[in-house]
Amino acid sequence: MDPSDILSRVLQKVQSAADPRLSLRPFLGALDAPTHLLAFGKASLEMADEFLRVKGPLPGVVVCVPDRLDALAPDRAAAFGAAGIALLPADHPLATERNLEAAAAVRDLVASLAPADHLLVLISGGGSAHLTLPTPGVTLADLREVTLAIQRAGLSIAQLNAVRKHCEQLKGGRLAAMCPAERITCLVLSDVLGDPPDVISSGPFAPDPSTYADGLAVPHAAGAPNQRILDHLQQGARSQHIETPKPGSPVFARVRSTVIAGNSDIVAAAAGVVSAEGFALAPVRTLVHGEARELALRWAPDIRAAAGGTAFIFGGEWTVNASGSTGSGGPSQELALALACELAGTPFHALCYSTDGIDGPTDAAGAIVTGRTLADVEARGMIVRDFLSNHDSHTLLDRLGALIRTGPTGTNLNHIAVVLCGA
């Protein structure tokens, strides 16, 4: 089979493995009857709708992506209304005023429950933005400024969330602490490597091992010394604010959390396709993190040395430090372009894909490149490294017709890269 066709099949299987409805369905059969529903994150609408279809109506709040809410079929919107579920739009990755309204509705729902209630919580990537509710003394503008700086600096999601947990009202186990219900069941689509419950959506129902002091170091590292946020974190580090609930707190005895899908699932799906096509799998690398271009440099020697018919699969969360650049792109596009540069002239095809369908602030989900990509660029009189230096992978790959455009998928299980050698 043509390697491009194989990578197309890989993409299809990866998308199925990340599908929020398919991931949720096996866990619904044994679920004890909840009394209220709460869902937030990029896949919230699909997960909540699947619950309604399989288990029936119950009241609650769903904080969802505006575009997906706008596209909701009228009969399904009516089903949510009949169940008494409020559908509230919220933005991502930067929160807006409507995020504050949605987060306040979540707070009010959770705080209103009775001890006899059973709250079902459906969590997916993007939940941190959806639950934005600043602590007194910190503004939405402050959080947006620091969040954007941390993201552009390429710092980890754990670092960003350490700030969020200590400058907001609902994160870092605080929702669990304010919930009177004696049973809380969380079903989670993980967008964080290793599936740490305290980092996924900033762990609103999970114990928080991070501290105000941990959060205090992050804005400085990102070059974002927002004074109100620094003042609040410094006050917390001096014990002037109450810390987030920690591991061992009795608050969490009522919480049962299950990760229903994560990056390992999409890696396994890709491995199944390439193995069925007769490729020999090199040791699969998961939990990969780091700058996209540096990863390409690190992987290139092994890929060049591999025999034809070998496949490499990498799963993880690569980043781009785009501070000071004017280009357009995202981590998966930059990884693809860097691989094309490092492996130029060798027989390979590579797929680099971000499962949410939105790779950086672009309309692409990633790209497919080959050993001929660099020659194609040079034939057009362009210089690849100029685009890499300006983090402008989207512009160049778009000109080459190499981009993957799936549209927003409604889920986020991080990134995957698949490289087919000798193809």
SS3 per residue for the chain: CCHHHHHHHHHHHHHHHCCHHHHHHHHCCCCCCCCEEEEECCCHHHHHHHHHHHHCCCCEEEEECHHHHHCCCHHHHHHHHHHCEEEEECCCCCCCHHHHHHHHHHHHHHHHCCCCCEEEEEECCCHHHHCCCECCCCCHHHHHHHHHHHHHCCCCHHHHHHHHHHHECCCCCHHHHHCCCCEEEEEEECCCCCCCCCCHHHCCCCCCCCCHHHHHHHHHHCCCCCHHHHHHHHHHHCCCCCCCCCCCCHHHHHEEEEEEECHHHHHHHHHHHHHHCCCEECCCEEEEEEEHHHHHHHHHHHHHHCCCCEEEEEEEEEECCCCCCCCCCCHHHHHHHHHHHHCCCCCEEEEEEECCCCCCCCCCCEEEEECCHHHHHHHCCCCHHHHHHCCCHHHHHHHHCCEECCCCCCCCCCEEEEEEECC
| Residue whose C-alpha is closest to residue 211's, from 288, 158, 147, 134 | 158
Please write the tens of the pLDDT for every residue from 38-70.
999 999 999 999 999 999 999 999 999 999 999
CA distances from 342 to 55, 57, 245, 296, 300 (A): 51, 54, 47, 7, 6
* Encoded tokens for 250: 């009795």
Q: Please tell me the predicted confidence (pLDDT) of residue 92.
A: 87
Q: Please tell me the predicted confidence (pLDDT) of residue 333.
A: 98
Phi, psi at residue 133, to the nearest 5°? -150, 95
Query: What's the gap between Cα 318 and its chain centre?
Result: 12
CA distance 218 to 159: 6
Q: What is the mean pLDDT of residues 310-335?
A: 92
Quick one: CATH architecture of 263-421?
Answer: 3-Layer(aba) Sandwich (3.40)
Please write the tens of the pLDDT for every residue from 354-382.
999 999 889 999 999 999 999 999 999 99
Residues of the chain within CATH 3.40.50.10180 domain(s) are 3-261
Question: In the block, which residue shows the tokens 């930067």?
Answer: 94
Q: What is the mean pLDDT of residues 292-312?
A: 96
pLDDT bucket at 409, cuts 50 / 70 / 90: confident
Q: Please tell me the predicted confidence (pLDDT) of residue 93.
A: 84
pLDDT bucket at 423, cuts 50 / 70 / 90: low
Mean pLDDT, rounded, of the chain: 95
The CATH number that domain 3-261 falls under is 3.40.50.10180
pTM: 0.90
Residue 104's contacts (CB-CB under 8 Å, 6 or more residues apart) are 133
- pLDDT(158) > 80: yes
- pLDDT(220) > 90: no
Q: What is the mean pLDDT of residues 257-264?
A: 97
Q: What is the length of the chain?
A: 423
CA distance 74 to 19: 22
- pLDDT(21) > 90: yes
Q: What is the mean pLDDT of residues 88-92?
A: 95
CA distance 198 to 103: 18
